[in-house]
Chains A and B, each alone.
Chain A
């Protein structure tokens, strides 16, 4: 699968295979006994849990101790404080998902300046440079995810209709890319559609943002939300208002998979591969600690998921059976 986006500094993507570990690498890593910390935006989402599961397996295989896993609760202030606390603990490496742009840039720069290897997930604050301020960025092809969502939603949208886009107000590489790619795909392939963009600052505000968008545009024919948790909240609110419409989003969380299988509103989900991304991020950490060169941006392709392939996609992405509810709705599980 190809990567359609470019990195935060215009980098060409390197595939995850570029950071594969050889048996010698694992042996050398075990002998070194490194200490690693992980700083995520949240630990609540399925995406975060799978990401961690992928990392832990690799760190376990390589004898690296994960000394802390931090939940920043989407708060830039909390992330700055936690990074400074971790710097004082002197881990060999930190994997961090910067929750904002300018507000958290200096704190991330301090990690590198303290001699701690820094691998970023999903977002690189403007002004931070690979090789200087961080080692590498590991992310999904977020531009590709936006295109998949637009292409999946398009057949459900009548000529000349309006489509809502619920974006994330924070200046965040991953969600910016999805929003830009979604609207670009429409501009090129469905210029008859008028996108109406509205943004929410916090997940808790996503339902009311959907309300506002619908109130301003009562004739919306579809909606794209930049990830699944706010998309589900928006879908619930729209259903309460009796305004069901075709929806597309990013991330195949458990609830999103059920919603897709049910087929009431979601028609397409552009799925990331968080388990594989966790593995890739951990391998990148091990290689850079071994002193091997790593690419500035390693990107994982997205997967287009519809009701027809939700079961196998769920298994591929999560390395788990699809939720029982999905199997039941699709008639694949006949038990009670």
Chain B
């Protein structure tokens, strides 16, 4: 049963003059002990005493408080090493849940994660990010509600974390969002963050998809245990996530790794990497080869009324269509040139490629490897592994969950809510909710008439 602030602040014994109240002194030690347990640095009382340098009585008292708040669990016994088996102290990761979502150019993914960032369920479906934002927000809300119904009852959600296609301005470390940052032109003026905060009553975090996918790959994919890693997302935009010393490097404004803007030259034409090697180029060139007869396979798709996107070109390349292979090889070489520069500067142990174009064929990976190996110092490539991500869009969901989990339990943030047992009692969040309750929600999206598709 969680304690109320009243329980913790009111002691039956009279306090001496000037003696600090428990609420004032306990929070820092609670934060430190909880994070030692949460990160797995300590899982017995003895280890907690040793690592925190708090006395036995303080550790016992704080663990009782954390247990009452539902944040730790001491019901399991560990392995005895001579005497009595020690009682294990576990982080109660299922105390609450985090709703996560990835909003991509062509797909939307939602999931529910526990407080350690472990994904409990996920669902992905096609979506058009250029659709009216109110429609997108309504779909996102419907999918969140569905996920909660199955995995997380109302009242047990502590945060929402979103992965979005571009760099998020204003998303500084530790802060939940109080207003919707400018991410995509199509979303201009739509209060997505405010709508979600109002509807679900929880703080919202937002990061770029490259950042969340890098975090996901680092903590649950090929990057587990890696200290230095480069993560590349290839789509309409091409971005890099940089991991140094086991940490995501975000740069001064969270804009590190925007390699898609770097100029490259291909066939006598110069332009930013996004335009010359991204999925728009692959689609455009694919259409051209279908129309001028260089690709019978793509022409056949078109003849049957199918649409040619970068995915169709990728699939055609994988089945051996020479014109499609040439398009993807060119893209892989160009991306590889830029990645080689980064690899020489950062000397990563692992480079991971992701994005639906990369996942549907082996050609880009092979061409990128060729370019990186050809343009790097031998020391850089001696033990370098260049692989394709196996996580797909799950990486973004897992990474988004890690973002929220790390922010919820960041010492400065945690200190403000730990005594109340829920981040929803954080003073800054309570103030945001007050402010939002005084503003009107945005109107619902237009509805289709019975039996008719909404025009897209």
Residues of A within 8 A of B (CB): 2, 4-12, 14, 18, 101-102, 126-127, 129-132, 143, 154-155, 159, 171, 176-177, 180-181, 183-184, 187-192, 197, 293, 295-296
Contacts and interface: CB of A to CB of B under 8 A. Distances in A.
Given A126-B119, A127-B119, A129-B394, A6 B126 contact: yes
A143 B122 contact: no
Contact of A11 (B125, B392, B452): B392
B392 A191 contact: no
Contact of A9 (B120, B121, B124, B315): B124
Interface stretch (B231-239, B265-273, B341-349, B356-364): B356-364
A284 to B, nearest CB: 15
13 contacts: A4-B126, A6-B126, A7-B124, A9-B122, A9-B393, A10-B107, A11-B393, A14-B360, A127-B118, A171-B150, A176-B150, A181-B125, A189-B453
Contacts of B16: none
Contact of B390 (A2, A127, A131, A143): A131
Nearest to B315: A14
A184 B126 CA distance: 12
B123 A176 contact: yes
B454 interface: yes
B399 to A, nearest CB: 13
A155 B453 CA distance: 14
Contacts of B122: 8-9, 126
Chain B interface residue bracket vs A: 35 or more
A8 B393 CA distance: 9
Contact of A6 (B118, B120, B125): B125
A183 B147 CA distance: 14
B390 A129 contact: yes
A24 to B, nearest CB: 16
Interface stretch (B292-300, B407-415, B418-426, B443-451): B443-451
Given A10-B109, A132-B390, A102 B451 contact: no
B359 A296 contact: yes
A250 B126 CA distance: 21
B124 to A, nearest CB: 4
Nearest to A2: B306
Q: Kindly list the 8 A-B residue pairs having the minimum CB-CB distance in the complex, ordered from nearest.
A: A10-B393, A9-B392, A10-B124, A131-B390, A6-B124, A9-B394, A129-B390, A191-B447
B54 interface: no
Contacts of B454: 188
A293 B454 CA distance: 40
Interface string B303-322: 00010000100010011000
Contacts of A188: 448, 453-454
Contacts of A183: 142, 146
Contacts of B124: 6-10
B362 A10 contact: no
Contacts of A132: 390
B36 interface: no
A293 B388 CA distance: 13
A226 to B, nearest CB: 14
Contacts, number: 96
Contacts of A11: 356, 359, 392-393
Nearest to A133: B390
Contacts of A130: 390, 392
Interface in B51-110: 102, 104, 107, 109
A132 B221 CA distance: 9
Given A127-B119, A154-B451, A177-B123, 8 more contacts: A8-B124, A10-B107, A14-B360, A127-B220, A143-B125, A180-B123, A189-B452, A197-B149
B430 interface: no
A226 B448 CA distance: 26
Contacts of B126: 4-6
Nearest to A143: B125
B215 to A, nearest CB: 16
B143 interface: yes
B150 to A, nearest CB: 7
Contacts of A18: 318-319
A177 B146 CA distance: 11
Nearest to B398: A127
B23 interface: no
B391 interface: yes
A327 to B, nearest CB: 33
B450 A180 contact: no
Contacts of B104: 10
A180 B121 contact: no
Contacts of A101: 121
B391 A184 contact: no
Contact of B392 (A2, A14, A197, A296): A296
Nearest to A295: B360
Contact of B125 (A127, A184, A190, A192): A184
Nearest to B149: A197
A187 B139 CA distance: 9
Given A11-B359, A188-B453, A189-B452, A129 B391 contact: yes
Interface string B378-415: 00000000000011111000000000000000000000
Contacts of B448: 188-189, 191
Nearest to A155: B451
B100 to A, nearest CB: 12
A8 B124 CA distance: 7
A114 B362 CA distance: 27
Contacts of A126: 119-122
